[in-house]
Structure 1
């Protein structure tokens, strides 16, 4: 019998929490083992139930980041994934430094939520690709114009770098193909090459590497 991913959800908005729980429990490989509303309850749930993944609201009573730091210390086997309306870069980096394994904006689709839980459970980090694009806008794009910016990805061809930049904007392979006049299969081939050259496992990790280089900051995901 397949081991289910044991998940807990802590958010002080009952209606939103119910929606997250419903989306997770609709998946055959996920089991919700606890719910709460505060940082104190998050710590208690982590201690009592030892979930594989604990979803935390950034702005819940007691502070989501405070809860992340304590859970990372006391229950290291539990991986935390932040759920929040805050799309502030400093908040993201702070949460990741404190021990969060992912950062997901509220309003995301249920399929992305489930995918993030599965990836985090496997030991990977997750940050929404769309938010990675915002990191670029807030850092690199403000500092240099394209003509002034040194080549950030010397290992990539111009076309591969072009595709990577569109990935940062959250575009799918189909939309990238439409933008560049390429077939979806061709885009997929370029993306495979990009991931191999950047030594990453998926497009999200590729986006975060790109964000790191353009922002000039060391990635908090390393």
Structure 2
């Protein structure tokens, strides 16, 4: 199955570089490029891609506003790419509905992997971004929009799954840790998100820390 993408960045060389990397993959096709948020929205409406690779800072309409519109109107997954890793951008992007957040110095293989992860319906944050998110949360006690339901609604295995999610492990890595199949892990992850009223894995990471299940520095 081919993953169709739209790549949006106001810097033509950067945009073309990302598009070339992704379009060269056997399971990916870049169906359009855009130079700002407004063009990105128009391209998504026209092509209905699986994933929108979206820069944060662009003229006319920035990536945050574009992500808000795209996530509100379509089923396209949004993967944010930026040179800026300030906390406000992370929170704003996640609250806009983005499924992933990577820095522009991401390695080629990690970029390709991120697109596949997001296209599959999972969420992804660059390790550096995750650390900033958690550090800021612990420092300021800032809270994302998540349900305050306690962890006592989870089974022991679901709590273990949440702990491993908090450490940033993929489904395959969690399966190896728990010695179960990836299908079983997907079921546990789905149960954790449903029971805690969470939108995605990103919110699960934050809850793992907020609840005290995982302590900062304990990765």
Q: Give TM-score scaled by structure 1 length.
A: 0.67
Distance 1:189 1:119, change over 3 A: closer
Distance 1:99 1:121, change over 3 A: same
| Match in the other structure for 1:214 | 209
Distance 1:29 1:138, change over 3 A: same
Q: Counterparts of 2:33 and 2:57 in 1: how far apart (Å)?
A: 16
| Match in the other structure for 2:91 | 93
Number of residues of Structure 1 aligned to a counterpart in Structure 2? 181
Given that 2:166 and 2:209 are in contact with CA atoms closer than 8 Å, whether structure 1 keeps it comes out as no
Given that 2:122 and 2:201 are in contact with CA atoms closer than 8 Å, whether structure 1 keeps it comes out as no
**Paired residue for 1:130, among 128, 131, 134?**
128
Q: Which runs of 5+ in 1 are unaligned?
A: 144-152, 171-184, 218-222
Runs of 4 or more, structure 1, over 4 Å off, are 153-156, 163-168, 187-193, 205-208
SS state at 1:134 partner: helix
C-alpha distance after superposition, 1:60-93 (max 9, x if no partner)? 111111111111233x121111111121223212
| Match in the other structure for 2:21 | 23
Q: Counterparts of 1:32 and 1:14 in 2: how far apart (Å)?
A: 15
SS state at 1:17 partner: helix
Distance 1:28 1:88, change over 3 A: same
Q: Which runs of 5+ in 2 are unaligned?
A: 142-150, 191-199, 213-219
Given that 1:6 and 1:30 are in contact with CA atoms closer than 8 Å, whether structure 2 keeps it comes out as yes
1:34 aligns with 2:32: yes
Q: Give TM-score scaled by structure 2 length.
A: 0.67
| Match in the other structure for 1:114 | 112
Q: Counterparts of 1:54 and 1:111 in 2: how far apart (Å)?
A: 18
Report the structure number with the largest CA radius of gyration.
1
How many angstroms does 1:164 deviate by?
6.2
| Match in the other structure for 1:182 | none
C-alpha distance after superposition, 1:168-219 (max 9, x if no partner)? 6x9xxxxxxxxxxxxxx9x9954769x96xx449xxx8786344333569xx
Q: Counterparts of 1:42 and 1:121 in 2: how far apart (Å)?
A: 17
For residues 49-60 of structure 1, the aligned pairs below 5 Å read: 49-60=47-58
Distance 1:192 1:212, change over 3 A: farther
Q: Counterparts of 2:119 and 2:133 in 1: how far apart (Å)?
A: 25
Given that 2:55 and 2:82 are in contact with CA atoms closer than 8 Å, whether structure 1 keeps it comes out as yes
Aligned CA RMSD, in angstroms, stands at: 3.5
Given that 1:132 and 1:208 are in contact with CA atoms closer than 8 Å, whether structure 2 keeps it comes out as no
